[in-house]
């Protein structure tokens, strides 16, 4: 394998890694439940950063609903959903709620 080929492989790996990071390999916005005409989407929020309405992830959740329902949607119910556990570096705190999520149940028009 010559050097130009190795460089192309390295470039391809870098592009895939960047796409993964920018395309949302995170669970900040998640479609929790989905049918043909409805769903439940949830997103991360922090109270000290504007709460659920001020979260930058709310915009992402609205985009998910818009994509699912091009003719529009109606939010049936929304509220805080059960937090998720995570790995803690403090002994005895593994699995405790470390994040807060807001959920929106919607139906397509």
- When divided into structural domains, the chain yields a total of 1
Does 92 map to a domain? yes
**Does an H or E element contain 24, and which?**
none
11 within some domain: no
In a domain, 51, yes or no: yes
For residue 53, give its domain range.
Answer: 27-108
What's the confidence (pLDDT) of residue 34? 96
pLDDT computed for residue 7 by the predictor? 53
Spatial distance between the Cα atoms of 67 and 102, rounded to a whole number of angstroms: 19
Within a domain: residue 35?
A: yes
Bigger pLDDT: 89 vs 34? 34
The per-residue pLDDT of the chain, averaged, comes to 77
Q: Which pLDDT tens digit goes with each residue over 30-75?
A: 999 999 999 999 999 999 889 999 999 999 999 999 999 999 999 9
- Tell me what percent of the residues of the chain surpass a pLDDT of 90: 56
Backbone φ, ψ for residue 100 (5° rounding): -115, 140
Check if the beta carbon of residue 34 is closer than 8 Å to that of residue 106: no
Residue 3 parent element (H or E): helix 3-22
What pLDDT, on the 0 to 100 scale, is given for residue 36? 96
């Amino acid at each position: 394998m010559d050097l130009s080929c190795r460089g192309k492989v390295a470039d391809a790996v870098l592009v895939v890694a960047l796409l993964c990071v920018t395309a949302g390999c995170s669970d900040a916005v998640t479609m929790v439940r989905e049918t043909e005409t409805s769903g439940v989407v949830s997103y991360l929020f922090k109270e000290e950063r504007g709460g659920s309405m001020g979260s930058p992830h709310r915009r992402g959740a609205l985009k998910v609903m818009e994509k699912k329902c091009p003719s529009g949607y109606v939010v049936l119910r929304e509220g805080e959903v059960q937090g998720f556990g995570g790995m803690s570096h403090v002994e005895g705190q593994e699995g405790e709620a470390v994040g807060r999520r807001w959920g929106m149940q919607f139906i397509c028009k």
